[in-house]
Amino acid sequence: MTFVTFFAGSGIQSALEPAGAHAARIGRLWDVFLIISAVVWLLVMIALFIALARRKREETPDGAARARTTVSIATAITLVTLAALLVASVLTGRAIADHAPPGTIQLKVTGKQWWWQVEYDDPDKSKRFTDANEIHIPVGVPVNIQLHSSDVIHSFWIPNLNGKQDLIPGHDGSIQLQATRPGIYRGQCAEFCGLQHAKMALWVHAMTQSDYANWLTAARQPSKIPSTPEQRKGEEVFMSSPCPLCHTIQGTDAGGKTGPDLTHFAGRRSIAAGTWPNRRGYLAGWIVDPQHIKPGSQMPPMLLDEGQLQPLLAYLESLQ
Amino acid sequence: MSAMETTPYALPDSDAEHEQLQKTWGPRRGPFSWFSQIDHRTIGRRFIVTAFVWFGLGGLLAALMRIQLAKPNNTFLSADQYNQIFTMHGTTMMFLFAVPVMEAVAIYIIPLMLGTRGLAFPRATAYAYYMFLFGGTMLYVAFFLNMAPDAGWFNYVPLSAPQFSPGKRIDIWAQLVNFTEISALTVAVEIIVTIFKQRAPGMSINRMPLYVWSMLVTAFMIVFAMPAVMVASNYIGLDRLVGTHFFNKAEGGDVLLWQHLFWFFGHPEVYIIFIPALGMVSTIITVFCRRKIFGYTAMVLSLVATAFIGFGLWVHHMFATGLPQSGQSYFTAASMMIAVPSGVQIFCWIATIAMGKPEFRPPLMFVLGFVAIFVLGGLTGVMLAAVPLNLQLHDTFFVVAHLHYVLIGGAVFPLLGALFFWFPKMTGRLMNERWGHISFWLTFAGFNVTFFPQHKLGLVGMPRRIYTYLPETGWGPLNLLSTIGAGILALGVLCFVVNALYSMKRGAIAGSNPWHAPTLEWATTSPPPHYNFLHLPTVSSTEPLWDHPENAPVVTGLALKKREVLITRLFDAEPDHLYLYPGTTPWAFLSAVATGGMFVALLFTPWALPIGVAIATTTLLCWFWPSSPRDEGEAPEQP
Amino acid sequence: MNGRATIDVSGLPDHAFGSRSIMWWMTVCVIAIEGTVFLVTIASYFYLQGNEAAWPPPGTRLPGLQWPTINTLILLVSLIPNQLAKSAAEKEEMLKVRIWMSVAALFAVGFVIVRTLEFRHLNVSWDSNAYGSITWTLLGFHTFHLVTDLIDTVALLVLMFTHHGYKGRRFVDVSENCFYWYFVVISWLPIYAVLYWAPRLL
Ligand code: HEA
Ligand code: HEA
Ligand code: CUA
Ligand SMILES: [Cu+2]
């Protein structure tokens, strides 16, 4: 069955390797559909080959009657099969429907051209915080995500965890994730949203509950005070450049809202919504000319000389 | 030249009649006469060729996309170029190729199949053609000016709203929709009226060939589906041009309104492409299995059922927008139910093949390829219709795979088969069979290599409409395979096109009925004379030419010096009265220039509307005003 | 290989009225298309209404009722000369056709004049909000098809005053033109209800 192995999954952005409760159920439904469809297709092909290869007899009224019966039976089987598929689909649909039990974690994700803003809600206002392009969730706990868009339609999709849901301006939606095993999963905006739709990815870190608790405590803190002279120089460069107009760094005066929150930027896997790994060379390239790697991005190129750039990078890398 | 030597449908000693009819129905001559021709064969031929030019361009754009996607982080195209190109590709294929080419073939074939002298309202045919031509030309001129639309073939708001898409790109798209839909609606009306009122005597409704049925159903779908997209595209045009707020949520507008309107058209649209192909398949199977179609009534009912259900599925394109659950289940159920009529047709064809004597000639090969590909594509459609699966698969390459399986497998393959089949009727010469087989196997293999891997790409997370991807995604190898397949596919298409061009001049002479086909288009010479039939045929079954290999029954008494056509009754097709067709005219062309000019000017100013309407009205009045005998259907004065 | 003659059609009439004629079927198709346009637009109207707490939205005045109501009456009365013209055409009575068509055309002209007043009393602009946009568009679509039909009617009327009018098929054209006018009138009634009564009653 090369067919089935062809469809065996692999990867961190794959619907075929479920790591979440919802994706697992959808995966089972997929198996049902795949097998039934393969059988139906093969049967039709076999019938076609028999019809083509048959040694023709003279046409008899009997033959026509037999054909009528065969076609009717095939139609009846089609109806039954479809009904079965429909039931399977509706049952799975019910099972994965959002029903956030109270006390689950509430997140708010806002799609922007072309990055993701993630807000962690908490009844205690002081415990709320904002992050970008990465989501951290504990394993085994349903997480409820409110979906918003501040510009055009985007679509939130972490294939290993669940299907997708559009982020539509004026129509708030939501989706639930419930990871079943720790890991890092990738997702990518699925609705065409303009020039850089291709470069609008995000990461989901599914962590054990204790890891998650630790992460949460750290994430609620403002960023570390720069410790080396170079970092302090970098902070100055940051604050005196246009950066604070668009970026927030908790614990500093930088409070811009146009761009991603950079409070814990150093902890991120990637920059510019999954476009590049978060390493110094790439970061330098990004800051000097975001338009080169992500043309059309809302961040303008920055005129910085070498003496400013290196400290700035050091500073950004210290934002734990 | 004599019209009657090879057909059983001509009375003896009618050379004089032939001469006179030739004069009455013949084309206009003279310097600008090209723009005045109105007869359905001339326009049909132009329509087909033009649609194929757009297909070639759309295919070349596809090749560019495939090159860009062949490897990760490729820089062959920029993001902006890619976005314009996939939008152009989808828009071209849907609006400028698939729907028009199906209508184009019908313009040529339907009157012949019905046994009449032309398509009702012949001048409107010419008008529809020029609107189609101008619309496509506008789109490609814009493309070469770097002004092509770039928001996808369904042009979702708010991305296409003025705020996020300044410039003229989206307006071009909206006007293109107006051009093509006006053209499509005009042709649809003509097809309906011709089929209802101009069938050969005796061709009662239950003796209509299945291809005629399929075009009738298609034309009705056009009538009820296209207005929705015209309304929607005018909303967006107004939002962009005069500041209305249909889609602006700040002022009470709504972005989902667009999606509802678009897909209320968009879903029927895919069946508008597909149903004519079903008619072609039935035609080809009948001829190459030498047997009438098994289950005629079931086939007709399936076509009608497909059309009806087709209007109740549109939300299956919007499952990921999060509409209420109960509603979604209804649309899942309806989407699955539409598999039943499709299945019935597949089963009836297989039964026909089983009881017939298949001859493996290229048209039948394309049809067999169709069955293999379309059934697979239909099954992936059923998968997509299941909401939970859809939420994973929507907007991924799985959908891209599905849509090409059903569009290319379900419509382009039968179309190629049908063109191979009708080519001798249109040109008088046969296409080369060996090259027919070669082009079939190349397209079949190339197609599957291109699009089968895309199912998997979708499942492993590749969204559609991305201009590039990272190596870590692991999508590289399958994309490369897909690109290689596209090369093979293009080669196959090229073989077909070259075969057609070559055969047009050098192919074997066909004779009136080279395939021993049973329907009336084969009852006249190849290519048919200007008046189609010297004497109109009459019929008494769905396979008239098999009933009357010779000594066929014909109608007499139609005027020779006037463009007289026979109007028959709706159900039983008994002769009812006579009607005069108007003659050639430049005003259909000039009206299209006026309306087309107005649409283009509307890109820039709303004032184009009153001025354009005034000019267009003038041209239309000239069109309808009987200022010469020609306009009243008289034969042109003899020089 | 030769055919055999079976039916001689030379004695058939050169025109026919109603559903026997191809003009009638064309008119039916056009009505189906335009009817769909109106239905889709009306559906959009209610869709947009569903998004607003109040309709018309706060700050927008109700559309004036006086002129459209007058217009509705004009249209309804115009059915009388319209029907007279249609019957006359079907009996091929030239004089009556000329008279009643002229009267019907005058009604249509009157309607178009009142229509401009109707636009003025919509009490909203197309660019104030979505309500204004859809109201203007729906009324605009109806006006557009009304004006094109008026032009068509006048052209045909002029034709009927020339020697070209003395042809059977011209009477068919007149009859179909009157048939179409029924659609103009009947399609107006739901549009009138939607534009002027829905904001008041719903
Ligand atoms: C020719 C065109 C064509 C045809 C015929 C179809 C046929 C079908 N399509 Fe497809 N579709 C498209 C063209 C077409 N489609 C296009 C262009 C898009 C994408 C638009 C875009 O987003 O750009 C699309 C997208 C699309 C979607 C949305 C995907 C998404 O974006 O999320 C869905 C979802 O339900 C769907 C479903 C179906 C179904 C159920 C059928 C059914 O009609 C199929 C029925 C046929 C069969 C099932 C096979 C024959 C039957 C048998 C042999 C009987 C036995 C079968 C069983 C027991 C199951 N289609
Ligand atoms: C009938 C419709 C149709 C047809 C025939 C095709 C044909 C092809 N399509 Fe297309 N496709 C669509 C309809 C169609 N497509 C639609 C609706 C979309 C969605 C768009 C959107 O998202 O908005 C799409 C999207 C689409 C994508 C996805 C883009 C993306 O989401 O990023 C891809 C990628 O591989 C693709 C590839 C191809 C290929 C390789 C072919 C090949 O089959 C093409 C083969 C043909 C040729 C290569 C031409 C050969 C040329 C000659 C022989 C020269 C002759 C010249 C003259 C006569 C002038 N198509
Ligand atoms: Cu955001 Cu695509
Ligand atoms: Cu659909």
Contacting B residues, span 104-123, partner chain C, CB-CB under 8 Å: 120-121
Nearest atom of ligand 3 to the alpha carbon of A114: 1
Contacting A residues, span 291-310, partner chain B, CB-CB under 8 Å: 295-296
Q: Which long-range contacts (CB under 8 A, 24 or more apart) does C138-142 make?
A: C138/C38, C138/C41, C138/C42, C138/C45, C138/C191, C138/C194, C138/C195, C139/C191, C139/C195, C141/C37, C141/C38, C141/C41, C142/C38, C142/C187, C142/C188, C142/C191
Confirm if B214 and B284 have CB atoms less than 8 A apart: no
Per-residue model confidence (pLDDT) at position A187: 94
User: Cβ contacts of residue B134 below 8 Å, gap of 6+?
Assistant: B179, B592, B593, B596
Q: What is the pLDDT of residues B251-296, one digit of tens each?
A: 889 999 999 999 999 999 999 999 999 999 999 999 999 999 999 9
Q: Is the CB of B341 under 6 A from ligand 1?
A: no
B355–A13 C-beta distance less than 8 A: no
Measure in Å the smallest separation between the Cα of A221 and chain B Cα atoms: 33
- Using a CB-CB cut-off of 8 Å, the residues of chain B touching A29 are 386, 388-389
Q: Does C154 touch chain B (CB under 8 A)?
A: no
Question: Of C54, C36, C194, which Cα lies nearest the Cα of C129?
Answer: C54
For chain A, strand residue ranges (E) read 105-112, 115-120, 129-132, 134-138, 143-149, 154-157, 164-167, 173-177, 183-188, 201-207, 270-271, 276-277
User: Cβ contacts of residue A56 below 8 Å, gap of 6+?
Assistant: B355, B356, B357
B227–C3 C-beta distance less than 8 A: no
Query: Pocket around ligand 2: residues whose beta carbon is below 6 Å from it?
Result: B 52-53, 56, 59-60, 62-63, 65-66, 86-87, 89-90, 93-94, 97-98, 152-153, 400, 403-404, 407-408, 412, 450, 464-465, 486, 489-490, 493-494, 497
Alpha carbons A298 and A112: distance in angstroms, whole number: 10
In angstroms and rounded to an integer, the radius of gyration of the C-alpha atoms of chain C is: 21
Alpha carbons C148 and C114: distance in angstroms, whole number: 16
The answer on pLDDT for B5 being more than 60 is no
- Which residue owns the Cα nearest ligand 1 atom 53? B343
Largest CA-CA distance found in chain A, in angstroms, rounded: 98
A85–B386 C-beta distance less than 8 A: yes
C22–B253 C-beta distance less than 8 A: no
Nearest atom of ligand 1 to the alpha carbon of B154: 23
Q: What is the pLDDT of residues B65-113, one digit of tens each?
A: 999 999 999 999 999 999 999 999 999 999 999 999 999 999 999 999 9
Measure B313 CA to ligand 4 centroid, in angstroms: 6
Alpha carbons B340 and B521: distance in angstroms, whole number: 31
- Using a CB-CB cut-off of 8 Å, the residues of chain C touching B535 are 3, 5
Confirm if B521 and B446 have CB atoms less than 8 A apart: no
> For residue B360, what are the β-bridge partners?
none
Question: Of B282, B291, B157, which Cα lies nearest the Cα of A166?
Answer: B157
Query: Would you tell me how many other CB atoms lie within 10 Å of the CB of residue B470?
Result: 20
Q: Which residue, among B392, B462, B469, would best test binding to A if mutated, counting the most A CBs under 10 Å from its CB?
A: B392
How is residue B235 written in tokens? 């909303």
The one-character DSSP state at B149 is -
Q: H or E element: which one contains B565?
A: strand B564-568
Per-residue model confidence (pLDDT) at position B579: 92
Nearest atom of ligand 1 to the alpha carbon of B277: 1
Per-residue model confidence (pLDDT) at position B3: 40
Measure A199 CA to ligand 4 centroid, in angstroms: 28
The answer on pLDDT for B610 being more than 70 is yes
Q: Is the CB of B381 under 6 A from ligand 1?
A: yes
Contacting A residues, span 38-67, partner chain B, CB-CB under 8 Å: 40-41, 44-45, 47-48, 50-52, 54, 56, 59, 63-64, 67
Q: Does A80 touch chain B (CB under 8 A)?
A: no
User: Is A122 exposed, middle or buried, given 0-12, 13-18 or 19+ CB atoms closer than 10 A?
Assistant: middle
Q: What is the pLDDT of residues B423-437, one digit of tens each?
A: 999 999 999 999 999
The one-character DSSP state at B528 is P
DSSP class per residue in B4-17: -TT-TT--SS-HHH
Per-residue model confidence (pLDDT) at position A6: 58
C169–B579 C-beta distance less than 8 A: yes
- Using a CB-CB cut-off of 8 Å, the residues of chain C touching B621 are 151, 155
The answer on pLDDT for B2 being more than 50 is no
The answer on pLDDT for B473 being more than 60 is yes
Instruction: Give the alpha-carbon dihedral of C102, C103, C108, C110, to 10 degrees.
Output: 120
Per-residue model confidence (pLDDT) at position A20: 93
Alpha carbons B28 and B37: distance in angstroms, whole number: 7
B389–A190 C-beta distance less than 8 A: no
> For residue B567, what are the β-bridge partners?
B577
Between CA B500 and CA B507, with CA B501 as vertex, the angle to 5 degrees is: 70
3-state secondary structure of C68: helix
Alpha carbons C174 and C24: distance in angstroms, whole number: 11
Between CA B94 and CA B103, with CA B97 as vertex, the angle to 5 degrees is: 105
Output the tens digit of pLDDT for each of chain C's 202 residues.
577 888 888 889 888 898 899 999 999 999 999 999 999 999 999 999 988 888 888 888 999 999 999 999 999 999 999 999 999 999 998 999 999 999 999 999 999 999 999 999 999 999 999 999 999 999 999 999 899 899 989 999 998 998 888 888 889 999 999 999 999 999 999 999 999 999 988 7
How is residue A11 written in tokens? 């990867």
Q: At what angle are helices C22-50 and C168-192 packed, to 10 degrees? A: 10
> For residue A131, what are the β-bridge partners?
A118
The answer on pLDDT for B133 being more than 60 is yes
Per-residue model confidence (pLDDT) at position C167: 83
Higher pLDDT, A9 or C104: C104
- Using a CB-CB cut-off of 8 Å, the residues of chain B touching A188 are 461, 463, 466
Q: What is the pLDDT of residues A20-71, one digit of tens each?
A: 999 999 999 999 999 999 999 999 999 999 999 987 666 677 778 888 999 9
Band the pLDDT of A98: cuts 50, 70, 90: low
Per-residue model confidence (pLDDT) at position A56: 67
Nearest atom of ligand 2 to the alpha carbon of B464: 31
At residue B555, what are phi and psi to the nearest 5 degrees?
A: -95, 140
Measure A12 CA to ligand 1 centroid, in angstroms: 28
* Residue B240 amino acid letter: R
A171–B256 C-beta distance less than 8 A: yes
User: Cβ contacts of residue A308 below 8 Å, gap of 6+?
Assistant: A237, A241
Chain C neighbours, 3+ Cβ pairs < 8 A: B
C4–B553 C-beta distance less than 8 A: yes
Alpha carbons A309 and A69: distance in angstroms, whole number: 80
Alpha carbons C129 and B245: distance in angstroms, whole number: 6
B469–A89 C-beta distance less than 8 A: no
The answer on pLDDT for A158 being more than 80 is yes
Per-residue model confidence (pLDDT) at position C108: 93
Per-residue model confidence (pLDDT) at position B12: 78
Q: Does B368 touch chain A (CB under 8 A)?
A: yes
Alpha carbons B283 and B364: distance in angstroms, whole number: 10
Residue among B404, B435, B447 to mutate when testing ligand 2 (max atoms within 8 A of CB): B404
Nearest atom of ligand 2 to the alpha carbon of B273: 1
Q: What is the pLDDT of residues B474-533, one digit of tens each?
A: 999 999 999 999 999 999 999 999 999 999 999 999 988 999 999 999 999 989 999 999
For residue C68, say if its preceding peptide bond is cis, omega within 30 degrees of 0: no
Alpha carbons B548 and B528: distance in angstroms, whole number: 19
Measure in Å the smallest separation between the Cα of B553 and chain A Cα atoms: 28
- Using a CB-CB cut-off of 8 Å, the residues of chain A touching B371 are 44, 48
Alpha carbons B135 and A266: distance in angstroms, whole number: 53
The answer on pLDDT for A100 being more than 70 is no
Confirm if B228 and B261 have CB atoms less than 8 A apart: yes
Ligand number with the minimum distance to the CA of B93: 2
Strands A201-207 and A134-138 turn out to be parallel
The whole-model pTM stands at 0.95
Question: Once rounded to an integer, what is the mean pLDDT over residues B127-149?
Answer: 96
The one-character DSSP state at A163 is -
Q: Give the position of tokens 């607003």.
A: C52
For residue A114, say if its preceding peptide bond is cis, omega within 30 degrees of 0: yes
- Which residue owns the Cα nearest ligand 2 atom 50? B490
Contacting C residues, span 107-146, partner chain B, CB-CB under 8 Å: 126-134, 136-137
B:C CB pairs within 8 Å: 191
Ligand number with the minimum distance to the CA of B479: 2
The answer on pLDDT for B7 being more than 90 is no
Q: Distance from first CA to last CA of chain B, Å, rounded?
A: 21
Nearest atom of ligand 1 to the alpha carbon of B266: 20
With a pLDDT cut of 90, the percent of chain B lying above it is 81
Question: Once rounded to an integer, what is the mean pLDDT over residues A268-297?
Answer: 91
Strands B553-556 and C4-8 turn out to be parallel
- Which residue owns the Cα nearest ligand 2 atom 55? B56
Question: Once rounded to an integer, what is the mean pLDDT over residues A131-156?
Answer: 94
DSSP class per residue in C99-156: HHHHHHHHHHHHHHHHHHHHHHTT-S-TTT-HHHHHHHHHHHHHHHHHHHHHHHHHHH
Q: Does B581 touch chain C (CB under 8 A)?
A: no
Distance of CA B410 to the CA centre of its chain: 13
Per-residue model confidence (pLDDT) at position B22: 87
Per-residue model confidence (pLDDT) at position B4: 41
Measure B59 CA to ligand 1 centroid, in angstroms: 22
Helix intervals (H) in B338-412: 339-355, 362-385, 387-393, 397-404
Measure in Å the smallest separation between the Cα of B306 and chain C Cα atoms: 20
DSSP class per residue in B576-606: EEEEEPP---SHHHHHHHHHHHHHHHTTT-T
Alpha carbons B109 and B128: distance in angstroms, whole number: 17
Confirm if B102 and B281 have CB atoms less than 8 A apart: no
Q: H or E element: which one contains B566?
A: strand B564-568
